[in-house]
Structure formats: structure tokens, C-alpha cells
Amino acid sequence: MPVRGPPGRVGVVIEVNELTKNYGGRTAVDHLSFTVRPGQVTGFLGPNGAGKTTTLRMILGLDRPTEGTATVHGIPFHHHPRGLRHVGALLDAGQVHGGRSATVHLSALARSNGIPLRRVGEVLQEVGLAEAARRRIGGFSLGMKQRLGIAAALLGDPPVLVFDEPINGMDPEGVLWVRRLFRRLAAEGRTVFLSSHLMAEMENTADHLVVIGQGRLIAAESVRSFAARSTRPSVLVRTPQAAELTALLTAAGAAVEPEGSAGAERLAVTGLPADRIGALAFEHGIQLQELTTRSASLEEAFMELTADSVEYLAGEAR
Ligand SMILES: Nc1ncnc2c1ncn2[C@@H]1O[C@H](COP(=O)(O)OP(=O)(O)OP(=O)(O)O)[C@@H](O)[C@H]1O
């Protein structure tokens, strides 16, 4: 079923414009501007302390910006009359009343937001907590609490979903499940915006990325073009003549790193393209068993682009 929200700027659901948050003398979010569109999963990435949670809180109207604006469908979220039926959010899975059961917790949310109670059973089923519905939340693992938080976000069947580090604490099966869920929600036309400090989590989940460091925008683009930004694509070579090839490629200006365990004879070569490596090996009678160009991983692009902000934070002895 296609999901529609109220009209805003065409094709833009969440719009952050020059958003800034100061805490005392410290700037947590610094003139940040980006947009989030429907029908795709947008990953919100940055190292720890980059300002992701603060930004999400301002989008959800839980914190007031020092400067700038954050709107959902063209209006600040706290002015929106439909609450959970408009935006579903998971910010802190731990912030639930441990003495209640999942059913009681979700029923209270449904009642206060004018959502039919039948939705409680539906979302518990959806997130795989139907069996645990009557157990005390206090006994839930972090992964189960994340599922409960996702159930709460889905309760109002909203067109916009915002999740802060939803994959934290999930086991591998939970990670696969949640990825499929996010992709399905986006395919239904919803706007799905989720934060993480782990690039690898986003590689298979997001279509689009907003990357921040020290509260400032580093990149806002597709996952594919972000990965292509890494300046260090490398070529993987497997040969029984590793020492000879290493000397040859190094002399030709490449950097060569052995990979895997000693004697595995796999080399990661940067600074020379695969065809040149193949030609040099052929000219010198060196046998190659594998020659593969590796596209730079998202992780490498992320590390390169956020290196400065991470160093800065480490230097501040946080
Ligand atoms: N209520 C607050 N009072 C003072 N400083 C705060 C407050 N909330 C956040 N900060 C600071 O603002 C900066 C950004 O924090 P934020 O939690 O938004 O980052 P994050 O990207 O979500 O990080 P993480 O991945 O570690 O959750 C940090 O330096 C943090 O210490």
C-alpha cells in the first residue's frame, strides 16, 4: 500500500536547515543542512559523539535548536497533530518501564495516541515478540528491547520512521531481520531514517547516506558514490612468488601489503591498476593465481572522511 504524508517540499520529507545546537560552550550540531526522501532507507552516520542523537532529538521536537530549523513534511514535528501516526521513532530502547509487559506498554502508547488496540498484537507479531508479549520488559535482552522499540515506532503505521542505533545489541539473526524490515518499509514508500556509528551496518541496509563529524556535514549522497570516494582502491593478487612480485611492484611505485596468515601469499596492492600488475608479472615470468580489483569498502571511505573529526574528539580526552 503506498504511504502518503502531508505535502512539504516536493520529494522531501525531513528537512534540516542550518541546524545548530550548543550545550554551554560546546557545539554538538553545527549549521547542519540535509534532506531525507521517501521510498528509500537513509543512513545517518558519524563517529561516536558526532551529534546524531542530538540532531534526531531536534527533528522529533524533543530538543530545541539553538539556531536553524528541522521540519517533517514542511512543519516542525512538535506542531504536528498526528503524533505517532505521523512519525514513529525509536531513540533509546532502554527507556521503558521494566515492570510492565510489552502488551501493557504498547497498549498505553496506543491509547494515548488514538491508535486502535488491535495494532498492539499486530506489531508484536511483526517484530517477533508475540511469545514474549506478557513477560516483564525488565527481563528482556537489549535486542528484545530494540524489537519492542521498533514495535512502538510501527504502532501508528506512520509514513515516517526514525531510529537511533536500532541494530545495537541485536544478534546476527536480528540484524538480518531488521535490515529486511527497513527495506520493506522503504519499498512501501515510507521515509526510513536510521543512525549508526558503524559503517558496515549501513552497507547492506541503506540506499542513501548522510555522514556527519563534529556536528558538521561530511557527505550526503548515495551509498555507491560515497564508497567510490575512497582514494585507496586496491588490487588483490595471489601468487606463489610473493617475494619476487613484492619487490617488482614496489620498484614500480606500488605499496604492497601481505594479507591473511603468513605463507598465504595474498598481496593487497595499491597505487597500480590490475592490468599493469598483470603485465609486469607476465614480463617477469611470475605466475598469478588471482588478480582482483577491490572496490573500496564503505568502511574505508568512512574512515578516511571522518578521520579528522575522530582525532579531534580523541584529542579532547573525552
Ligand atoms: N544534554 C547534553 N548536555 C551537554 N552535552 C551534550 C548533551 N547531549 C549531547 N551532548 C554532547 O553533544 C555531542 C554530540 O552528542 P550526540 O549524543 O548527539 O552524538 P552521537 O553522534 O549520537 O554519538 P553516539 O554515537 O555516541 O550516541 C557530544 O559531545 C555530547 O557529549
Across the range 125-139, mean pLDDT stands at 92
pLDDT at position 233, please? 64
Distance 23 CA to ligand 1 centre (A): 9
- Span 69-125, pLDDT tens digits: 999 998 888 777 677 888 999 998 778 888 899 999 999 999 998 999 999 999 999
pLDDT at position 67, please? 96
In this structure, the residue with its CA closest to atom 13 of ligand 1 is 28
Residue to mutate (ligand 1; options 22, 23, 199; most atoms within 8 A of CB): 23
What residue ranges define each of the domains in the chain, with the CATH number in brackets? 14-227 (3.40.50.300), 234-294 (3.30.70.100)
- Span 256-303, pLDDT tens digits: 988 866 555 789 898 888 899 999 999 999 999 999 887 666 777 777
With both helix axes pointing from N to C terminus, report the angle between 102-112 and 118-126 in degrees, rounded to the nearest 10.
130
Cα separation, 78 vs 195, whole angstroms: 21
| Strand pairing category for 191-196 and 160-164 | parallel
In this structure, the residue with its CA closest to atom 8 of ligand 1 is 54
Check: CB of residue 107 under 8 Å from CB of residue 180.
no
- What residues form DSSP beta bridges with 22? 27
Q: What's the mean pLDDT when you consider all of the chain?
A: 87
Give 64-120 as a DSSP string: --SEEEEEETTB-GGG-TTGGGTEEEES-TT-S-TTSBHHHHHHHHHHHTT--THHH
Distance 220 CA to ligand 1 centre (A): 21
Cα separation, 277 vs 137, whole angstroms: 58
> Residue 139: helix, strand or coil by DSSP?
helix
Distance 60 CA to ligand 1 centre (A): 16
Ligand 1 pocket, Cβ-based, cut-off 6 angstroms: 23, 28, 46, 48-54, 197
Closest ligand 1 atom to 57 CA: 18
Residue 318 confidence (pLDDT) above 50:
no
- Span 276-286, pLDDT tens digits: 999 999 999 99
Closest ligand 1 atom to 197 CA: 25
Using alpha carbons only, what angle is made at residue 287 by residues 281 and 293, rounded to the nearest 5 degrees? 65
Distance 46 CA to ligand 1 centre (A): 12
Distance 247 CA to ligand 1 centre (A): 48
This model of the complex carries an ipTM of 0.94
pLDDT at position 153, please? 96
Distance 157 CA to ligand 1 centre (A): 29
